[in-house]
Amino acid sequence: MNKIDEANEFIKQNKAKVNPKYRLKYHLMGEYGWINDPNGFIQYKGNYHLFYQHYPYDAVWGPMHWGHAISKDLVKWFYLPLALAPEEDYDRDGCFSGSAIEKNGKLYLFYTGHIYTKKEKNDDYKQVQNMAISADGIAFEKYEKNPIIDVAQIPDKASKKDFRDPRIFKIGDTYYLLIGSNDEHGIGQVLMYKSIDLIKWEFVNILLKGNENTGINWECPDIIRFEEKDILLVSAQYMKAKGDDFKNTHSSIYFVGRLDIDKGKFEYENYYSIDYGFDFYAPQTTIDKNGRIVMVAWMDMWETDLVTNRLGHNWAGAMTLPREVIKIGEEIYFKPISEIVKYRKNEYSLQDIELNGEVKLETNGICYEIDAEFEPQDAYEFGVKVFKGKYEETVLSYNCRDRLFTFNRDRSGIGPKGERKTLVNLNEGRLRLRVFVDVSSVEVFINEGEEVMTGRIYPDSESINISIFSVGECRVLYLKKWDIDVD
């Protein structure tokens, strides 16, 4: 049996052993074992395809395979057989992250082959870029002349080891690959290559190099081109915290600027966090047939307590809700994809409430959306508490004086604790929140997606209540809540 069939068979035999307690209902996870980064995100022949970094045999990171799921609407996903398994000389220790493109009706995957060069030392590794092709979007064949970019094609002043996560895109008749890297001082950077046939690749330039604050290595580069601005996304390892920002071990950030494709240079004006919560990494975008830009990220973080693994639940890792990326004026917004509203059930609604103190809602749940708008009058602080139980609560609050929105998971259950804060301005005196709750995740879209905060939490099964609260007078213009039901 080859390694893909072996892995598929293992999943089939074992998936009933997954403990469902913290499984999400409307977010993509692996069927069994571990997942991390989204890969190869593309709409192809009528379906959205989302691949993912996957170790199917255990709920920890291991030799990477590519898992594969498809969806018509980005909410309801169906599993396909795994797409890639590590079994060639050039990828034997892992098929690492990468991306997809369609050419003449075929689906092409670009990924990094990871190889340990000495038996014992995890530090001695080499990474090369490979291609795999499919005519039906289900079965993939690795290109017989892989690697398509070998270590010899890494320029001077770039790490000979960290060379991964190829992001393919096309401008005119030319294909480009962005690859994550770091320089001789351990500063994250992105390399750019070009090709006219997807096979022969030529180094163009170091597209962008960070500084001592922006991480020691950049992973998973991605680019979005708007009319007058471009944004470059990178996942920056060990980025330094700055005030309330970049507090996670690793940060996914975007640079706003301009891509000069001929020179292979990205000039930026500024950079920002993509998500201000706890668990968001390695985002990848795609442009669908309607021109919509959709982004998905891994909804977890390296080097954190893996609760579902620790508990022996036989799975770990989930994807965020897909988000639409929109540029409005000079700002970039991240909005929940519109298809999610199809799955709303059991509407609960409040109108025009004067709030002062805490009110428990006459509804509860663990899998729902809340949409609410607040107008703090003389309130000092107000917000929403979800997963509220006797001893637990997850608190989403806004402090009017400091203009800080906080996601606090100190009392959220048995997972990692802490809080994250981000500066938010009221919008004509109001704050709108769309909160997506799904068993062990909370995603908060603030003011139409100006800011987003995402976190995983592991509450007790009794912690199902919801409340709204205010310290001082606050008007709740409306609050709606729907269960999200994808069955």
**Residues contributing to the site for ligand FRU (CB under 6 A):** 36-37, 53, 64, 96-97, 112, 164-165, 219-220, 235, 281-282
* Cβ-based nearer residue to ligand FRU, 255 or 281: 281
Provide the minimum distance between the beta carbon of 441 and ligand FRU in the complex, in angstroms, as a whole number.
Answer: 18
* Cβ-based nearer residue to ligand FRU, 142 or 421: 142
Provide the minimum distance between the beta carbon of 209 and ligand FRU in the complex, in angstroms, as a whole number.
Answer: 17
Integer Cα distance of 163 and 425 in angstroms: 40
Amino acid at 373: E
CB 398 within 8 A of CB 429: no
CB 449 within 8 A of CB 333: yes
Provide the minimum distance between the beta carbon of 371 and ligand FRU in the complex, in angstroms, as a whole number.
Answer: 32
Q: How many helices (H) and strands (E) does the chain have?
A: 2, 31
CB 177 within 8 A of CB 192: yes
Provide the minimum distance between the beta carbon of 217 and ligand FRU in the complex, in angstroms, as a whole number.
Answer: 8
* Cβ-based nearer residue to ligand FRU, 36 or 251: 36
CB 73 within 8 A of CB 128: no
Integer Cα distance of 100 and 40 in angstroms: 4
Q: What does the buried/exposed string (b/e) look like for 101-118 if buried means 16 or more CB atoms within 10 Å of the residue's CB?
A: beeeeebbbbbbbbbeee
CB 165 within 8 A of CB 221: yes
CB 372 within 8 A of CB 384: yes
CB 66 within 8 A of CB 8: no
Integer Cα distance of 130 and 143 in angstroms: 8
Integer Cα distance of 433 and 445 in angstroms: 6
Q: What does the buried/exposed string (b/e) look like for 77-92 if buried means 16 or more CB atoms within 10 Å of the residue's CB?
A: beebebbbbbeeebbe
Catalytic residue among 5, 37, 378, 402: 37
3-state class (DSSP) for residue 26: coil
Closest CA to 435 of 407, 412, 474: 407
Provide the minimum distance between the beta carbon of 17 and ligand FRU in the complex, in angstroms, as a whole number.
Answer: 23
Integer Cα distance of 336 and 6 in angstroms: 36
Provide the minimum distance between the beta carbon of 434 and ligand FRU in the complex, in angstroms, as a whole number.
Answer: 27
Amino acid at 144: E
Provide the minimum distance between the beta carbon of 69 and ligand FRU in the complex, in angstroms, as a whole number.
Answer: 17
* Cβ-based nearer residue to ligand FRU, 67 or 137: 67
- In the annotation, is 58 catalytic? no
Integer Cα distance of 190 and 148 in angstroms: 18
Q: Provide the token pair at 282.
A: 């390695």
Length of the chain: 487
Q: Provide the token pair at 324.
A: 């639409």
* Cβ-based nearer residue to ligand FRU, 98 or 413: 98
CB 194 within 8 A of CB 174: yes
Provide the minimum distance between the beta carbon of 420 and ligand FRU in the complex, in angstroms, as a whole number.
Answer: 19
Provide the minimum distance between the beta carbon of 346 and ligand FRU in the complex, in angstroms, as a whole number.
Answer: 37
List Cβ neighbours of 416 (8 Å cut-off, separation of 6 or more).
278, 304, 305, 409, 456
Integer Cα distance of 347 and 345 in angstroms: 6
Q: Provide the token pair at 118.
A: 């000495």
* Cβ-based nearer residue to ligand FRU, 182 or 235: 235
Q: What are phi and psi of 123, to 5 degrees?
A: -85, -20
Integer Cα distance of 241 and 245 in angstroms: 6
Q: Catalytic site residues?
A: 37
